Structure 1
Amino acid sequence: MTRSVLAIGAHIGDMDLTAGPTLAKLVLEGASATIVALTPGERGHPRLTPADYKVQKIAEGTAFAEAIGADFTVLDHSDGFLPSTDDVALQLAQIIREKQPDTIITHWKHSIHSDHEHTAVLAERARFLAGLPIDAADDFAAITPYAALAEKLSALPRHGVRSFLHAENWEDMEDFTPSLYVPISDEAFYRWVSAIRHQAFARGETYGFRYIDYYTALMTTRGCLAGYPRACAFHTNQSPEVSKLAGP
C-alpha cells in the first residue's frame, strides 16, 4: 500500500496533468502526496513576461495542490535550462528524505523537452542519494555548492523508495510502454478536473493545445485496456498489471 507519494516534474503543471488524477485518488484513500516542480515553467506563455508568468504559475500550482489535498514545492531553476547536476539531485534527495515517499512519479527518460529528460535522470539520482550514507565531512561535501546541501542531507534519515514510476506525457512518448494501469474513480477524476481547469495553460490559453481534453480522453483509452471506466498509465520495469496503488 502506498502511504506517501512524491511526484517530480520539470515544470509546474507537468505532474498536475499526468499524475494528478492518481495523486487525487491516493489522497482520497488516505495517502499523503507531494508535488515538486524543478522550475516554474515561466517561459511557457506567448504574451506574458517570464517574471509575470512565474508568479501566475506558482499561484496556479499552489492552488492545484491545495484542491487535491497535496503539498507543493517549486525549486528556482530556469525553465528550458534545467541542469542535470548533482547539486539539483541533492536538493531532491533532501525532499525525499523529508517526505519519506513509498513511490516516486516522474517523467519518462525520452522526451522532446530536455527539461523533462533531465528531470527523469535527476529523480533517479536523487532516489539513489537519498538512500546513500552521506556525512557532512565527506570529501565531496567540501566542494561548492555541495557543502551546504550535504550538511542538510546528512541531518536527515536515509530513505529507500520502493516504487519508481514514469508518467505518460504526450511530450515523452518515445519508447514509452505502459506496464502499470491505475484505475481512477469518478471522485478522483472530478476532483482533478475541478483543480486543473484553473491552470491557464491546461485550458489551452497559452499555445492552444487542449490538455484537459487530451488527458481526459487518454484516461478513457487506458481505462478500456485496464477494464475500468478510466485509468492512468505508467511505465515500470514490471510486467503489465492493473494496480490501485493504495486501498483494497
Structure 2
Amino acid sequence: MSKKTYLAIGAHIGDMDLTAGPLLAKASLAGHRTCLLALTPGERGHPKLTPAEYKKQKIAEGRDFAERLGSEFKVLDHSDGFLPNTEEVHLEVADIIRDMKPDVVVAHWGGSFHSDHNNASEIAEMGRFYAGLPMKHDLPRHGVKDFVYAENWEDMDDFSPSMYVEIPKDAFDLWHDAIQVHAFARGETYGFMYIDYYSALMRAKGCLAGVKRACAFATKVDPGLKKL
C-alpha cells in the first residue's frame, strides 16, 4: 500500500482536531503521514483567560493532541477573529503545501457564520491553487489530488455531504482519548460539549453509511470514498 500525506487546515487550533481528527487517526494508524495546520491559535476563545494566556494553553493542547495521534503540528501566528484573507497568507499556506506535498487536504466548508472559518476555507483553496502553479520558487510546485471539506457545526450553510469515511473502533478510540486534552472540547470554556456532539455525529453518519461510525465530507468534485 502506498503511503499518503494528509494535511488538515483549520482556522484555529482544535477545529480540525474535532472534525478531521478521526480521519487523521485512521490514517495515522494505517501508517500514513498526517499533519494539523492551524492558521491562528484560537487565543480569544476563553471567557476568563487573557488571549496571551490562552494562546500558550491552546498551543500546548494542540501539540499534545497531535502527538497522541502521531501527527505533525503547525500553527501560524495570525490573530484569532482577525484572520486575514490575503495573497500573502495564501502564499504562506502554498509554501507549506509545496513543502509537505499532501495527497489529501481537509479544509473548512465556506458556509460558516464564523468569518475566520470562511477565510480559512478560501485560504486553503487558494493555497492549493498557488502551490500547483509554476513559479520562481525554491520549492517545486505540487498538485493536491484530493481536496475535501469537513463537517463542522459552525459551517453548515449549504453543506451537503458527498462522501462518508468509516471510522473504525481503534481510530475512534485514539481520537476520543486525544481530544480530551482540549479544554474547550470538554466544555470548559463556553459550555458546548464538543466531544459528545462529534461522537454522536459519527454514530449518526455511520447509520447513513451502513457502518458503526463515519465522518462526512463535502467535495466540489467528488474524488470517491475509496481515495481517503
TM superposition score normalised by structure 2: 0.97
- Residue 90 of structure 1 corresponds to which residue in structure 2? 91
2:178 — aligned with what? 195
1:34-183 → structure 2 map (5 Å cutoff): 34-135=35-136, 154-183=137-166
**Where does residue 185 of structure 1 map in the other structure?**
168
What SS does the aligned partner of 2:181 have?
coil
Cα 1:9–1:34 change in 2 (3 A) is same
* Mapped partners of 1:7, 1:40: distance in 2: 15
RMSD: 1.3
Q: What is the rounded CA distance, in whole Å, between the counterparts of 1:220 and 1:84 in structure 2?
A: 35
Unaligned runs of 5+ in 1: 136-153
Residue 12 (structure 2) aligns with: 11
* One-letter amino acid matched to 2:196: D
Inter-partner Cα distance in structure 2 for 1:4 and 1:241 = 17
Looking at structure 1, the residues matched to 225 and 214 of structure 2 have their Cα atoms a distance apart, in angstroms, of 9
Shift of 1:198: 1.1
1:189 counterpart letter in structure 2: F
User: Which 4+ stretches in 1 moved above 4 angstroms?
Assistant: 238-242
User: Could you list the per-position Cα deviations for residues 174-231 of structure 1 after superposition, in whole angstroms to 9, with x for gaps in the alignment?
Assistant: 0000001000010000000110011100000000000000000000000001111000
- Cα distance in 1 for partners of 2:162, 2:132 equals 26
Deviation at 1:237, TM superposition (A): 2.5
Partner of 1:221: 204
Q: Residues of 1 paired with 2:142 and 2:30: CA distance?
A: 23
Check 1:163–1:170 CA distance in 2 against 1; reply closer, same or farther (3 A cut).
same
Report the Cα distance in structure 1 between the residues aligned to 2:47 and 2:174, rounded to whole angstroms.
29
Gaps of 5+ in 2: none
Kindly state the Cα deviation for residue 243 of structure 1 after the two structures are TM-superposed. 3.7
Measured after TM superposition, the shift of residue 29 of structure 1 is 1.0
Question: Residue 160 of structure 1 aligns to which amino acid in structure 2?
Answer: G
Does the aligned pair in 1 maintain the 2:80–2:116 contact within 8 Å? yes
The alpha carbon displacement at 1:81 in A equals 0.3
The separation in 1 between residues aligned to 2:183 and 2:222, in whole angstroms, is: 37
Q: Give the CA deviation at 1:242.
A: 4.5
Q: What's the offset of the Cα at 1:240?
A: 9.7
* SS in structure 1 at match of 2:165: strand
Query: Is structure 2 residue 188 aligned with structure 1 residue 205?
Result: yes
Query: Deviation at 1:244?
Result: 6.6
- 1:197 match: secondary structure: helix
Identity within the alignment, %: 62
Q: Does the CA-based 8 Å contact 1:183-1:244 persist in structure 2?
A: no
Structure 1 contact 181–241 (Cα < 8 Å) conserved: no
> TM-score, normalized by length of structure 1?
0.89
CA contact (8 A) 2:3 2:31 kept: no
Distance in 1 (alpha carbons) for counterparts of 2:226 and 2:196 = 24
Equivalent pair of 1:202/1:211 in contact (CA under 8 Å): yes
Give, in whole Å, the separation in 1 of the partners of 2:132 and 2:19: 26
Corresponding residue of 1:149:
none
Aligned to 1:29: 30
Aligned-residue offset at 1:86:
0.7
